[in-house]
Amino acid sequence: MDPTPQVTTVDDIQDESGYKAVQPPRKPPYWGIDKDPARRPGVPRMRDPQPWPNTRYPPERQPGEPAVPKHGRPNKPFPPVFGTSCPLHGLSGAIKKMAYRLPDHKPTHWMLMLLGDRVESWGTRVGRAAVVALPIAALVLFVRMVRS
């Protein structure tokens, strides 16, 4: 018995499947230009410590209120720079604040966050619909009252 496993050829695959190379693959002119790992900027992954040009370290603390609470891992320092877009508000904000009290390695942290997202999304939809629906409802009620 021939122990060599039967190998599917490219032709077999082309015949029966979605193999779509319309021409044999050609190596492009730039082939191998970064073959030498020394030309690859990310090798080694962790280089010897060296600050980036124009770095002022440690950075000053940013004034103002962050839009993001610190997640709940004890001893995590609050970073000196943070985003300030769209602060937490309302019921979704309360749920997310609860989520941020938990550390980010707890799945509950993320589940509560997703719940907060859905509450915000539906709350916004209901709020926008109410802007249209409430005046119409009031008008209908008023007309009915006048007629009666």
- If one asks whether residue 28 binds other proteins (CB under 8 A), the answer comes out as yes
Measured distance CA(77)–CA(74) in Å, rounded: 9
Q: Which of residues 43-72 bind other proteins (CB under 8 A)?
A: 43, 45-60, 62-64, 66-71
* Chain mean position to CA 123: 22
The residue to which tokens 């039967």 are assigned: 6
Query: Please, what is the minimum distance in Å from the beta carbon of residue 2 to other proteins?
Result: 14
Q: Which is nearer to other proteins, 67 or 137 (CB)?
A: 67
Q: Helices in 85-106 by DSSP H: which ranges?
A: 90-100
Contacts with other proteins by CB under 8 A: the residue count is 83
Measured distance CA(108)–CA(114) in Å, rounded: 10
- Evaluate whether 112 touches 102 at the Cβ level (below 8 Å): yes
Query: Please, what is the minimum distance in Å from the beta carbon of residue 133 to other proteins?
Result: 18
- If one asks whether residue 3 binds other proteins (CB under 8 A), the answer comes out as no
* Beta carbons within 8 Å of 93's beta carbon, 6+ residues apart: 87, 116
Q: Which of 2, 15, 75, 83 binds other proteins (CB under 8 A)?
A: 83
Q: Which of residues 102-121 bind other proteins (CB under 8 A)?
A: 104-105, 107, 109-111, 113-114, 116-117, 120-121
Query: Please, what is the minimum distance in Å from the beta carbon of residue 131 to other proteins?
Result: 14
